[in-house]
């Protein structure tokens, strides 16, 4: 019984505290702090239209965010990614083709990560230190890869479910209800028609600024200098 309670407690704490992985690998859902710092993160881009629209909003409020890019999208839509770097945003590795991580063997995972890294370095001149596994899958292969390649593994505490077509008012209500200092918010800049990410962002940012939150990159939130 004691073990069950302990396991439940550990599960409940997963999204709250940085989790020490094997060896030096850390998996972060956020990082508590007393300065009301939070981080916006956008996955799966860059996208020629959506990323640009999001960058426009971030620029309007002078906010820096973190974009976990898919390597092949950086090849296709480099202009949006180049703009993101030029405007001071952070770039993280989200693999080259966005595969199902759980189905990959170690060699394939290493290739996916390395190919994204090589593409981002070549196209953007940027060295990434953060890795977000597709679908948030953190298995032993991810931990070993991250340890060997010196990546911090980044998850999130707040999933806006923007990818599922959640309405902008529901996204804002969810964020408003659950946000706290140190949270990483998951959104997407590559999404299909019918997603309300941009509209949600337009409402969310002023609401959170009003409540005293400070937007920083994930790297700054967890204390990793680029």
Residues that bind Zn ion (CB under 5 A): 43-44, 134
| Of 52 and 159, CB closest to Zn ion | 159
CB of 95 to Zn ion, least distance (A): 8
State which residue, 141 or 208, has the beta carbon closest to Zn ion.
141
- Which residue is catalytic, options 47, 89, 94, 188? 188
Output phi, psi for 192, to 5 deg.
Answer: -85, 170
Catalytic annotation present for 150: no
For residues 33 and 159, which CB has a smaller minimum distance to Zn ion in the complex? Answer: 159
> Which CA distances in Å does 191 have to 85, 94, 107, 166?
21, 15, 29, 12
Burial of 47 (0-12, 13-18, 19+ CB in 10 A): buried
Q: How far is the CB of 212 from Zn ion (least distance, A)?
A: 30
Nearer to Zn ion, 44 or 90 (CB): 44
Question: Coil, helix or strand for 15?
Answer: coil
Shortest Cβ 193–Zn ion spacing (Å): 18
Positive or negative, the CA dihedral 12, 14, 17, 22 is positive
Q: Residue 42, Cβ neighbours under 10 Å: how many? A: 31
Q: Is residue 188 flagged as an active site residue?
A: yes
Task: Say which DSSP state 123 is in.
Answer: H
The CB-of-155 to Zn ion minimum distance in angstroms stands at 12
Active site residues: 43, 188
């Amino acid at each position: 019984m004691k073990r069950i309670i302990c396991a439940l407690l550990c599960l409940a704490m997963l999204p709250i505290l940085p989790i020490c992985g094997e060896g030096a690998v850390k998996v972060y859902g956020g990082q508590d702090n007393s300065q009301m710092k939070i981080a916006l993160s956008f996955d799966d881009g860059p996208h020629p239209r959506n990323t640009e629209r999001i960058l426009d909003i971030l620029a309007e409020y002078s906010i820096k965010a973190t974009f976990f890019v898919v390597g092949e999208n950086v090849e296709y839509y480099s202009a949006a990614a180049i703009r993101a770097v030029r405007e001071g945003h952070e770039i993280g590795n989200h693999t080259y083709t966005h595969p199902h991580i759980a189905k990959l063997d170690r060699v394939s995972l290493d290739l996916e990560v390395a190919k994204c890294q090589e593409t981002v370095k070549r196209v953007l001149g940027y060295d990434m230190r953060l890795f977000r596994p597709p679908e948030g899958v953190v298995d032993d292969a991810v931990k070993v890869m991250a340890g060997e390649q010196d990546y911090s593994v980044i998850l999130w505490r707040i999933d806006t479910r923007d990818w599922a077509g959640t309405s902008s008012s529901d996204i804002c209500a969810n964020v408003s209800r659950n946000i706290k200092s140190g949270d990483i918010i998951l959104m997407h800049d590559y999404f299909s028609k019918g997603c309300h990410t941009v509209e949600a962002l337009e409402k969310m940012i002023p609401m959170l600024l009003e409540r005293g939150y400070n937007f920083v990159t994930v790297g700054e939130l967890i204390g990793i200098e680029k």
